[in-house]
């Protein structure tokens, strides 16, 4: 890591004084994502309260007056991200503490943004509050699922979401309805913005808890049959194009099993790349480009990443 400038050191000192924030410098990120890839974070913070999160974004905004402020990113389960080999600058946050709470109120369920979505689905099903079962196999936190409008087996977050609390750049706390998010296929207006989801409220329906839990087990069994297991990966690499499947198109191009360094396009599912032998982010990106170019040339279809390309990887993808 480079030596911090006086302004960066000042920001770091102010952040370290915030109650509810635990800050580490130069923490390797490979252990914080399911690809097991990525260099260190300039600053990695575990934030435990909404007040602390608001103060963090206020401090970052103040530090950025007259210059570009350090980028703030949230890293949940790390199940849908590719992190550069050189790591990430700025501040990477993980939501814990009160962001891991779940509360029930009639047919409504409130969940902090740090709650794993599969855990929330199982807890609601066990309470006989139905609706989230199809999302029980989606490896995301509640916050990440809201940002991308996660979906699985015909159910999307937008179908159940009532509202979400967010913290905007500068620290302002606001409440957004599902319509405010303008949700689409694997997308909302929050993507690419510095706004951070703090919690979400979902509507559920009363039903049979035993049957709901059985459905979760069956859907998870089905998921395990179709996706590769045994090597680090992040599930689907590309969004499905309208009316088709990215995996089918990549398979038709004969790319199953193609390798680059320690990364491989899965032999079981062509829309999954696995880290089979110490892959780098550049290895994965090379395979992504190969799939994109082959599908574009053969079918005239432009594949869009579903995996979130962080840091400098976004520019390298389009270069």
**CATH number, residue 11:** 3.30.43.10
DSSP per-residue letters across 246-270: HHHHHHHTT-TT-EETTEEE-SS-T
Please tell me whether residues 244 and 201 are part of one structural domain: no
pLDDT of residue 4: 40
- End of a domain among 75, 97, 119? 97
What mean pLDDT is predicted for residues 276-301? 98
CB 228 within 8 A of CB 266: yes
Q: How does pLDDT run across 222-269, given as a tens digit for each residue?
A: 887 777 788 999 999 999 999 999 999 999 999 999 999 999 999 999
Grade residue 7 by pLDDT with cuts at 50, 70 and 90. Answer: low
Please tell me whether residues 256 and 209 are part of one structural domain: no
What mean pLDDT is predicted for residues 197-225? 94
Count how many domains the chain has. 3
Residue 273 has pLDDT above 90, yes or no: yes
Q: How does pLDDT run across 98-149, given as a tens digit for each residue?
A: 999 999 999 999 999 999 999 999 999 999 999 999 999 888 999 999 999 9
- Residue 182: CATH number of its domain: 3.30.465.10
Q: 239 lies in which domain range? A: 228-318
Show the DSSP H helices in the chain as ranges.
Answer: 6-16, 50-63, 117-126, 142-148, 209-226, 246-252, 281-299, 313-318
Residue 179 has pLDDT above 50, yes or no: yes
Active site residue ranges: 186, 236, 306
Please tell me whether residues 298 and 287 are part of one structural domain: yes
Of 68-72, 132-136, 212-216, 303-307, give the lowest mean pLDDT range. Answer: 68-72
Please tell me whether residues 27 and 137 are part of one structural domain: no
Residue 158 has pLDDT above 90, yes or no: yes
Residue 5 has pLDDT above 60, yes or no: no
Q: How much of the chain, in percent, has pLDDT values that exceed 70?
A: 96
Please tell me whether residues 260 and 285 are part of one structural domain: yes
Give domain status of residue 146, yes or no.
yes
Look at residues 215, 189, 158, 167 and name the one whose alpha carbon lies nearest to residue 56: 167
pLDDT of residue 192: 81
Please tell me whether residues 205 and 124 are part of one structural domain: yes
Grade residue 218 by pLDDT with cuts at 50, 70 and 90. Answer: very high
Helix (H) or strand (E) segment spanning residue 39: none
């Amino acid at each position: 890591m480079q030596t911090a400038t006086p302004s960066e050191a000042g920001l770091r000192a102010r952040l370290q004084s915030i109650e509810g924030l635990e800050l580490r410098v130069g923490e390797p990120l490979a252990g914080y994502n399911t690809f097991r890839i990525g260099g260190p974070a300039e600053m990695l913070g575990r934030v435990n309260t909404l007040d602390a999160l608001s103060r963090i974004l206020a401090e970052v905004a103040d530090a950025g007056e007259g210059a570009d402020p350090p980028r703030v990113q949230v890293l949940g389960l790390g199940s849908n991200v590719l992190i550069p080999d050189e790591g990430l600058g700025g501040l990477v946050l993980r939501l814990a503490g009160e962001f891991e709470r779940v509360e029930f109120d009639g047919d409504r369920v409130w969940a902090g943004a740090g709650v794993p979505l599969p855990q929330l689905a199982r807890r609601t099903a066990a309470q006989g509050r139905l609706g989230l079962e199809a999302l029980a196999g989606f490896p995301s936190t509640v916050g990440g699922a809201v940002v991308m409008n996660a979906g699985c087996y015909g159910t999307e977050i937008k179908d159940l979401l009532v509202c979400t609390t967010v913290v905007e750049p500068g620290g302002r706390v606001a409440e957004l309805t599902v319509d405010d998010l303008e949700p689409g296929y694997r997308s909302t207006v929050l993507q690419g913005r510095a706004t951070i989801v703090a919690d979400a409220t979902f509507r559920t329906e009363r039903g049979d808890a035993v049957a709901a839990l059985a459905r979760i087990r069956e859907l998870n069994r089905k998921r395990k049959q179709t996706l590769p297991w045994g090597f680090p990966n992040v599930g689907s690499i590309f969004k499905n194009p309208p009316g088709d499947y990215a995996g089918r198109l990549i398979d038709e191009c004969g790319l199953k099993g193609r390798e680059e360094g320690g990364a491989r396009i899965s032999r079981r599912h062509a829309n999954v790349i696995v880290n089979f032998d110490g892959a780098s982010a550049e290895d994965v990106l090379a395979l992504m480009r190969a799939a994109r170019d082959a599908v574009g040339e053969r079918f005239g279809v432009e594949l869009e990443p579903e995996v979130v390309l962080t840091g400098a990887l976004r520019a390298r993808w389009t270069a």
